[in-house]
Amino acid sequence: MKLLIVNGPNINMLGKREKEVYGNRTYKNLNKYIHEYCKNKNIEVKIFQSNHEGEIIDEIQSTYGVFDGIIINPAAYTHTSIAILDTLKAVSLPTVEVHLSDINKREYFRKHSYISQACFNTIQGHGFDGYIMAIECLEEYIQRANSCKNIILE
């Protein structure tokens, strides 16, 4: 299985920003955590982060025909980016949305996600573990989809 993990604006500032919301662990810690998990599960993973919407769109477009699934933490673009939503729909890969915090328990404007419309699941409020949960969710989803391809209807 080959996955792309996309992180949006300010995720690179983990450990420095809003520690009461995101904790003390850094973006480097997050990447290491994900890479170690994927290595143990024999999952190929690419992790990408950008503060720029166009770069995120370009990266998602590059998945077409290359990756099996996407995990996205669009960060603030969750609530504003129809362009990222349209790109996820265009590549049509199974996608899980992840948020470190529970966006439903934050400011009012954070409660709506445009991105979730292109995702089969959203995981929020589990910190770094949310990424592992998303990987497991995608793994199960892809395995089920592949097993259905082998069914011959008579």
Note whether residue 29 is domain-resident. yes
Q: Tell me: the pLDDT tens digits for 37-95?
A: 999 999 999 999 999 999 999 999 999 899 999 999 999 999 899 999 999 999 999 99
Total domains in the chain come to 1
Please give the share of the chain, as a percent, with pLDDT higher than 90.
73
| Residue 22 designated active-site | yes
Does 71 fall in a domain?
yes
CB atoms within 10 A of CB 132: 17
Of the residues 22, 77, 114, 131, which is catalytic?
22
Assigned domain for 154 exists: no
Average pLDDT over residues 91-118: 86
Q: What is the pTM of this model?
A: 0.89
Residue 154: is its pLDDT beyond 60? no
The CATH number of whichever domain residue 109 belongs to comes to 3.40.50.9100
Q: Where does the pLDDT of residue 103 fall: very low under 50, low under 70, confident under 90, or very high at 90 and above?
A: confident
Of 27, 35, 79, 99, the catalytic one is 99
